[in-house]
Amino acid sequence: MKATIWHNPRCSKSRETLAILNDTPDVDVEVIEYLKTPPSAQTLAALYDKAGMTPAEGLRKAEDGAKALKDASDAEILDAMAADPILIERPLVETAKGVRLGRPPEKVREIL
């Protein structure tokens, strides 16, 4: 099975999620460091749709830039995340079984 993780190596939850993926037999892991290779607004919209999340639920609210998006539309949030990927809550993991936000990291087991 292929698993793609949108990963930030400086984030402990992202590192823990990656460890779960790497320790799972028969999982081929693709790591995308999303701060270096940000996903487009369209990619984010598709990921959140597969995860059953809204863009607002995927917004890293602790970031200063998120405060200005409090009353923003989904499209505005997605555009802001694509322009400034630090606003993306991490890690996101996608497999053929779906998408999960690795918070807590064990949630990714649902799609393995």
Distance CA 100, CA 11 (A): 16
The CA-atom distances, in angstroms, between 92 and each of 62, 64, 71, 104 are 17, 21, 24, 11
Q: What is the mean pLDDT of each run of 10 residues along the chain (112 residues)?
A: 97 97 97 97 98 97 93 97 97 98 97 97
pTM above 0.85, yes or no: yes
Q: What's the pLDDT score for residue 80? A: 98
Q: What's the pLDDT score for residue 5? A: 98
| Active-site hit among 11, 31, 35, 56 | 11
What CATH number should be reported for the domain holding residue 9?
A: 3.40.30.10
Q: H/E/C letters for each residue in 44-66?
A: HHHHHHHHCCCHHHHECCCCHHH
Could you give the strand order of the β-sheet that contains 92-95, starting from the edge strand earlier in sequence?
A: 28-33, 2-7, 92-95, 98-101
The number of beta carbons lying within 10 Å of the beta carbon of residue 31 is 16
Q: Which amino acid makes up residue 41?
A: A
Our count of domains for the chain comes to 1
Domain containing residue 38: 2-111
| Cβ neighbours for 63, distance < 8 A, ≥ 6 positions apart | 86, 87
Is 11 annotated as catalytic?
Answer: yes
